[in-house]
């Protein structure tokens, strides 16, 4: 009787094929996990700036949009803070001068923030205006670093009634004084908004600074 010939295993059942397939699957799983589940870059947690920039209209954990905070009743400002810049200052009221221009705090009080009394108070509906010096003859003033505040950062204004209006920065613009957009900066708004102004651009002893730095922000919380 002739010996039976041993049948050759199909290629897809060989040990070499199984090892190669396992290695390929491991490689694919590692690659997909690194792309979809990591914490860095745009797919990650986002960091403080992204979370702060969300503000009103962002999604809650259940997917519903977050309602904006309710405007506050009128109450004068007491103190002013921009935590990201280390700014903490008292506030005093300012008005328009006889020529209709916004006044600034006294030069001998460089760390004081002026709040326009004819506009909205902190957290109140409408446009609120805060102004301060960039520098004086004695050195840097309260808003020396204002141009460096980033969108998504907060401005906190404590009120006389003990509550605090928290604004989130939307954008920072530098406008030449010769073509200053009054309507864009000072125009009325329905929601509570804030404009923070100081000097910017180039300086000369004859004409002063050539521009204004303007921070645009909206009410994002009250406490």
3-state secondary structure at position 22: helix
Continuous segment of H or E residues that includes residue 35: helix 15-36
Q: What is the DSSP letter of 37?
A: S
Backbone angles phi, psi at 88, to 5 degrees: -145, 120
Q: Are 157 and 85 in contact (CB under 8 A)?
A: no
Check whether 166 has a pLDDT greater than 90.
Answer: yes
Domains along the sequence of the chain with CATH: 77-222 (2.40.260.10)
What is the reported pLDDT for 36?
Answer: 30
| CB contact set of 189 (below 8 Å; sequence gap of 6+) | 125, 126, 127
Distance CA 189, CA 120 (A): 10
Token pair for 38: 């990591």
What is the reported pLDDT for 125?
Answer: 97
What is the reported pLDDT for 23?
Answer: 44
Q: For residue 203, name the pLDDT band (cuts at 50, 70, 90).
A: confident
Nearest to 126 by CA among 116, 138, 137: 116
What average pLDDT does the segment 36-58 reach?
32
Q: How many CB atoms lie within 10 A of CB 137?
A: 7
What does the pLDDT look like over 106-151, one tens digit per residue?
Answer: 999 999 999 999 999 999 999 999 999 999 888 999 999 999 999 9
**Residue 197: HSE in the Cβ half-sphere, 13 Å Cα cutoff:** 25
Backbone angles phi, psi at 10, to 5 degrees: -60, 150
Q: For residue 181, name the pLDDT band (cuts at 50, 70, 90).
A: very high
Continuous segment of H or E residues that includes residue 131: strand 126-131
What does the pLDDT look like over 81-112, one tens digit per residue?
Answer: 999 999 999 999 999 999 888 899 999 999 99
What does the pLDDT look like over 4-25, one tens digit per residue?
Answer: 555 555 554 556 545 444 443 3
Distance CA 165, CA 101 (A): 26
Q: How many CB atoms lie within 10 A of CB 134?
A: 20
């Amino acid at each position: 009787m002739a010996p039976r010939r041993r049948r050759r295993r199909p290629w897809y059942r060989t040990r070499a094929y199984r090892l190669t397939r396992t290695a390929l699957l491991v490689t694919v799983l590692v690659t997909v996990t690194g792309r979809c589940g990591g914490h860095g870059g745009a797919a990650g947690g986002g960091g403080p700036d992204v979370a702060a920039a969300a503000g009103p209209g962002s999604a809650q954990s259940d997917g519903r949009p977050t309602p904006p905070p309710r405007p506050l009743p009128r109450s004068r400002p007491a103190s002013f803070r921009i935590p990201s810049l280390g700014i903490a200052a008292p506030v005093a009221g300012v008005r328009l001068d006889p020529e209709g221009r916004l006044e600034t705090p006294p030069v001998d009080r460089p760390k004081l923030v002026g709040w326009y009394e004819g506009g909205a108070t902190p957290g109140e509906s409408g446009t609120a205006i805060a102004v301060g010096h960039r520098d004086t003859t004695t050195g840097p003033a309260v808003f020396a670093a204002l141009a460096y505040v980033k969108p998504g950062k907060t401005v906190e204004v404590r009120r006389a009634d003990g509550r605090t209006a928290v604004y989130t920065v939307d954008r920072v613009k530098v406008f030449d004084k010769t073509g200053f957009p009054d309507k864009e900066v000072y125009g009325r708004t329905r929601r509570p908004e804030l404009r923070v102004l100081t000097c910017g651009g180039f300086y000369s002893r004859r004409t002063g600074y050539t521009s204004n730095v303007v921070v645009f922000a909206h009410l994002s919380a009250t406490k």
